[in-house]
Amino acid sequence: GESVGLHLPTLSVQEGDNSIINCAYSNSASDYFIWYKQESGKGPQFIIDIRSNMDKRQGQRVTVLLNKTVKHLSLQIAATQPGDSAVYFCAENTGTASKLTFGTGTRLQVTL
Amino acid sequence: DAGVIQSPRHEVTEMGQEVTLRCKPISGHNSLFWYRQTMMRGLELLIYFNNNVPIDDSGMPEDRFSAKMPNASFSTLKIQPSEPRDSAVYFCASSLSPSGNQPQHFGDGTRLSIL
């Protein structure tokens, strides 16, 4: 029979435009959040993290925004490049242990 | 700097056979994690170790799965006997601290196919 897998939402962005990937997290006690990028055939790669005492953190071409009121996390990528094409995961941690809970992921497609 | 190293990168074997996956964490990291990734279930935590001690194995599917960490630089995940439904990509990750406020760094995984 036909197998049903996770349906990854897909974001299609033109090269040079900015990308915004969103994530809703589940646990209001979570106090540490990470964004990962996973390219085909590779493991998840750490991009940027943020602690719950912050609402914004910037890296190189990336910005993470945290809204604890609505339990929402976003990743902004400036001037998106073809090399940014990948699946992006958010992950949350409640701080009392090392366990991360991962979201289902968003596929980013960069068009030329 | 060397990242997390996993071997083999690919494994194809027949059901019933024993499978051993290997992981070398980043030097100095004291937490190690084993994950499984499938299209159906996404990324699932199987087990994790702090300072070589298993802390939480609640994600291990069943008794056919076992994991060991004999020292700070090596861990194995064993499946015996293997079944077709074990086919997946298995990732190992390590982090600097068990406190939960450090990112986990992943290897490139072992793609396992059980025929």
- How do residues B63-92 score in pLDDT, each as one tens digit? 999 999 999 999 999 999 999 999 999 999
What's the pLDDT band for A93 if we cut at 50, 70, 90?
Answer: confident
Mention every residue, 6+ apart, whose C-beta is less than 8 A from residue B72.
B25, B30, B51, B52
- How do residues B97-108 score in pLDDT, each as one tens digit? 766 688 999 999
Q: Which two tokens stand for residue A6?
A: 């996770």
B32 class by beta-carbon count within 10 Å (0-12 exposed, 13-18 middle, 19+ buried): buried
Closest in B48, B105, B109 to A98, CB measured: B48
What's the pLDDT band for A95 if we cut at 50, 70, 90?
Answer: low
Confidence at residue B102, expressed as pLDDT on a 0 to 100 scale: 85
Confidence at residue A1, expressed as pLDDT on a 0 to 100 scale: 37
Confidence at residue B101, expressed as pLDDT on a 0 to 100 scale: 80
Q: Are B68 and B75 in contact (CB under 8 A)?
A: yes
Cβ contacts (< 8 Å) between B24 and chain A: which residues?
none
Chain-chain contact of A97 with B100 (C-beta, under 8 angstroms):
yes
| B67 HSE (CA, 13 A, CB side) | 30
Per cent of chain B over pLDDT 70 is 97
Residue type present at position A41: G
Q: What is the 8-class DSSP label of residue B96? A: S
Chain-chain contact of B99 with A5 (C-beta, under 8 angstroms):
no
Search chain A and give the residue with CA nearest B59: A99
Cis upstream peptide for B81 (omega within 30°): yes
- How do residues A60-89 score in pLDDT, each as one tens digit? 999 999 999 999 999 999 999 999 999 999
Closest in A5, A98, A99 to B39, CB measured: A5
DSSP assignment of B13-32 equals: E-TT--EEEEEEPPTT--EE
DSSP assignment of B42-86 equals: EEEEEEEEETTEEEE-TT--STTEEEEEEETTEEEEEESS--GGG
What's the pLDDT band for A55 if we cut at 50, 70, 90?
Answer: very high
Per cent of chain A over pLDDT 90 is 76
From B64's Cα to the closest Cα of chain A, the distance in A is: 23
Q: How far is CA A24 from each of CA A68, A74, A101, B56, rounded to the nearest angstrom?
A: 10, 9, 12, 25
pLDDT of B16 strictly over 60: yes
From A21's Cα to the closest Cα of chain B, the distance in A is: 18
**Chain A window 58-87: which residues touch B at a Cβ cutoff of 8 Å?**
none
Residue type present at position A34: I
Q: Given the structure tokens 């499946």, which residue do they identify?
A: B79
Confidence at residue A5, expressed as pLDDT on a 0 to 100 scale: 54
Q: How far is CA A64 from each of CA A26, A35, A58, A73, A85, rounded to the nearest angstrom?
A: 17, 8, 6, 7, 18
